[in-house]
Structure 1
Amino acid sequence: MNKKSWDIIGLMSGTSLDGLDIVYVKFYSDKDSYEFKIINCDTIPYSLHWEKTLRNAFNFSEEELDGLNIKYGIYLGESVQNFISKHSISKIDFIASHGHTIFHKPEEGYTLQIGDGQKISDVTGLKVICDFRTQDVEFGGQGAPLVPIGDKLLFSNFKYCLNLGGFANISFEKKGERIAFDICPVNIVLNYYSKMLGFQFDEGGKMAKKGKIDQNLLEELNCISFYKAPTPKSLGFEFVKDSIFPILNKYHIKNEDILRTFVAHVVFQISECLDNKLDSSLLITGGGAFNSFLIEELKSVTKNTIVIPDTNTINYKEALIFAFLGLLRDENKVNCLSSVTGAEKDHSSGRIFTKQV
């Protein structure tokens, strides 16, 4: 039997605002078994204008957000066009776009990822699949995390799949079901305090390593109620703004000490999610995988075998999996798992756009 194949461009913009990830992937399928190969990938750093706009969009009015949705969709389309030209890509089945999250409050019944799919399609002339979270929230789910279906079908040889991006999230099988949830903030906080020290991020965790743990701060962070809440559960910038920063702002200590304490907080919260009685494999991706100090601290508290994959998988796993979510949606197959999000049922989510004549 001949394998089916697809050529897809995936787009991902994370809460850490380090740029737009674009990946061109070829997927192969034999029945319900999938393989992939990353052909090309780039991260397009945001200009100061876009970084400031996306960071402040949380405070925009509805009318301003509508305008931003359109402008950002055009930006995404133009970025894809430049990517296609740069890599001389000729065969594309469609684009799958996560968009950029502005609001995420599933407990109040809404989530918003901007990046108008129609505009992306109009600019590129290609089919676009996007808005993967809204339907899940309408079905009573968290709308997140969505990556676990990719973990299940593309990375099944690992016991745990841990992503260290703006937030840490984890995915694993438990009693025949895929379980996944957001653990805690990571780079969205670490980058914020690194910038106060004049750096975009804490390379290798060097600044955190120089700091000292403030035990009172660490204890207060670890007592936040979210961490004891049952799954399914997910996080957005609102959590950092309402629950993390107010605590950190109470402590008048060096930024290096805040970084060191927050790394300890992240490591503790991750370790609480792992079964340390088993020598199981733990795949780590996302920008935090390059934070060697954080990784060494995590190694010191777990018996799990930590696997750091190749650079492209570290950097582009989320964009890769959103391309895969688009594939599943295009095939009308399940791409949102109720065991993960808490929705009333498994379903196939994502809106489909084609260029308007």
Structure 2
Amino acid sequence: MPATPTRTTTSRRQFLALLGISAAAVSCGTATASGGGGGGAQLKKLKYQGAVGSVTLPELAADLGYLGDVTLDWVGNTISGPQDIQSAATGQTHFGGAFNGAVVKLAAGKAPIKAVVSYYGSDQYSYGGYYVLEDSPIRSARDLIGKKVGMNTLGAHYQALLDIYLSRNGLSKTDAAKVEALVVPPVNTEQSLRQKQIDVAVLSGVLRDKALATGGIRPLFTDFQLLGAFSAGTYVMTQRFIKENPDTVRTFVTGVAKAIEWSRTTPREEVIARMTAIVKKRGRNEDTSTLQYWHSYGVAETGGRIGDKEFQLWLDWLGERGDIKKGQLKAADLYTNEFNDYRKGA
């Protein structure tokens, strides 16, 4: 059994510091992740971070044979989207994925990155829910004033959805500021809710399904109910890497796009069986039981195509919060569908 590489960890302070580094500094970092600049051969082995006990879309694409002569080089696991795209921006990996709001923040910090394909989102099968105890008096957005909402991280997907929910239900900024968002590790969120350490728990995936099976909780709202089906996160690469390795980027992006469509059109049991085989085959001593709860990747558009709407919502939210300057970035400048054979008109 191969030795498990040490997980790369990055504190929130380090990530925020990254947002302030110069484009020149990032450019120097990405030199280590570049391929054959100056007319040389393009890079065919892509360094990346995975996730324990799960199968990412690039990993699925590779197993299905959709990446051609492009191979993946696993360097460890991550549980943080911001950390994952930081690694890509600084050249530690060749691609990374995160919530689109985190991509916006990194781009606002002058990191020369570009989103190339969507990889997760919310739909009727895969969504994040904001749950309360069955007997909780919380029934509306206004009931959340003075209450605690536990989520995996602040300033990202679930805090954004909470803010949007409060705003759309008529709460003023002053009242919304009285709703306290707290960081609670996902594995502890259900327990924290049941022990009444928090009033609302954000749950998704297997943790949501297990909590619902136990009973005694009900949803206040879900991100799917709030926004409908939407793609929430994208894989990014540096602009330099894209320029120097266009064929590799096309193979990677289109391979991921094909894997998305394969997962949509293949019976769920077959997808789960394939994922289980992939996890067992890579020999990292991982638990495969949670794969039984997989329903979909939640990507909204065909082949993970990206549109302005995938970024404009978060540009507006971050601008309102003062995290970025309003009008500083344009949605269309943050992504490209050029390398996706599922792009419109292709």
* TM-score, normalised relative to structure 1: 0.27
Relative contact order (C-alpha < 8 Å, sep 6+): which is higher? Answer: 2
* TM-score, normalised relative to structure 2: 0.28
